[in-house]
């Protein structure tokens, strides 16, 4: 569905996208993850046909983004971060207008507009002025606009930006319901977003791709440390003794409640120090009430990748 090879975009000497290459298969939901300014929006504008690359190639649904931009746009539903809606129009009026611009007419237009309003839970708002809608409903209108011509690919730039937790959950459920009929490239800087919705994640930092994998594999295979949570009683220089164990990065005393110490022990990737911790506890006569090992989150992985970037 998407094939990108050595894509580069420069602005007045500044490189926003630096030799990016990746593929997205039909039916996938892929998260394009990175901090603000990482190059996500620039890449999406190029893939949507709104901006030419400086160099490299990109094809969407078989169409070259530069040479065949008109044909490409028929295959793409693009929802920018700040969707330019006509606030003086009513919801149904606006979607009729947008559908007509995208080549729909007659019964097909009326049916499709009704279908996307129902899909995006806008039917009850169809006569409301867009300018009077909440941020959440405006996002739904923008998504309905992107869907109205039934594109095989949706490119969504920060679709949950500015929404409250209930609205975010509703948008995520809607996105999951759209596959496998639609392939989705979802840009976000919210790590929980890709964990909740995406099949794969592409991590980008300073215009370069840092990792491509499933959310689960990234947390297992990349460099971020895991964490062992301890609930214990003991005396002595506890954190220093724990940090002396091979594979332990840092031991932190989080809190003390009713004589019980709660510690977080950060461990190097692919190290399991639980047996060594138990042996140390027996030797020091510490009492351990609970020991819990947890994998790193995507946030841990991304922070670790960013810290290891030599260009930073």
In sequence order, what DSSP letters do the residues of 202-228 get, joined into one string?
Answer: EEEETTEEEEEE-HHHHHHHSS--EEE
Residue 288 has pLDDT above 80, yes or no: yes
Portion of the chain with pLDDT greater than 90, in percent: 40
pLDDT digits (tens, 9 = 90+) for 259-274: 899 999 988 877 889 9
What does the pLDDT read at residue 95? 96
- The pLDDT of 164-186, averaged and rounded, is 84
Helices of type H across the chain: 40-47, 69-74, 91-101, 106-119, 135-147, 165-177, 191-197, 215-221, 238-243, 274-284, 298-307
User: Does residue 307 belong to any structural domain of this protein?
Assistant: no
**Domain finish residue from 220, 238, 264:** 220
Q: What is the 3-state secondary structure (H, E, C) of 157-168?
A: ECCCCCCCHHHH
Question: What gap in Å lies between CA 79 and CA 139, rounded to an integer?
Answer: 9
User: Does residue 188 belong to any structural domain of this protein?
Assistant: yes
Structure tokens at 184: 């989705």
Enclosing domain of residue 237: 225-295
176 with 249, same domain?
no
Q: Specify the CATH number for the domain of residue 234.
A: 3.30.70.3190
User: Does residue 249 belong to any structural domain of this protein?
Assistant: yes
What does the pLDDT read at residue 91? 96
pLDDT digits (tens, 9 = 90+) for 88-113: 999 999 999 999 999 999 999 999 99
Structure tokens at 290: 């609970």
pTM over 0.85: no
């Amino acid at each position: 569905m998407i094939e990108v090879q050595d894509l580069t975009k420069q602005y007045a000497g500044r490189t926003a996208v630096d030799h990016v290459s990746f593929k997205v298969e039909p039916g996938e939901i892929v998260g394009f993850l990175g901090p603000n300014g990482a190059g996500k929006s620039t890449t999406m504008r190029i893939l949507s046909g709104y901006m030419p690359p400086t160099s490299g190639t990109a094809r969407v649904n078989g169409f070259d983004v530069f040479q065949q931009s008109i044909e490409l746009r028929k295959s793409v539903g693009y929802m920018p971060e700040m969707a330019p809606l006509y606030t003086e129009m009513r919801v149904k009026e606006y979607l009729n207008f947008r559908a007509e611009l995208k080549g729909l007419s007659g019964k097909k237009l009326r049916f499709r507009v009704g279908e996307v309003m129902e899909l995006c839970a806008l039917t009850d708002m169809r006569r409301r002025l867009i300018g009077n809608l909440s941020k959440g409903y405006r996002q739904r209108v923008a998504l309905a606009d992107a869907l109205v011509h039934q594109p095989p690919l949706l490119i969504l730039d920060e679709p949950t930006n500015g929404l409250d937790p209930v609205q975010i959950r509703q948008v995520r459920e809607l996105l999951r319901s759209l596959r496998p009929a639609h392939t989705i490239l979802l840009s976000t800087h919210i790590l929980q977003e890709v964990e909740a919705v995406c099949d794969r994640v592409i991590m980008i930092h300073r215009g370069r791709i840092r990792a491509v994998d499933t959310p689960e594999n990234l947390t297992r295979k990349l460099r971020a440390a895991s964490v062992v949570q301890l609930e214990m009683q003991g005396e002595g220089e506890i954190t220093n003794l724990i940090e002396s164990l091979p594979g332990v990065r840092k031991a932190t005393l989080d809190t003390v409640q009713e004589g019980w110490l709660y510690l977080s022990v950060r461990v190097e990737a692919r190290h399991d120090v639980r047996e060594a911790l138990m042996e140390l506890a027996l030797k020091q006569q510490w009492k351990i009430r609970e020991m819990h090992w947890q994998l790193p989150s995507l946030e841990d992985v991304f922070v670790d990748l960013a810290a290891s970037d030599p260009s930073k």
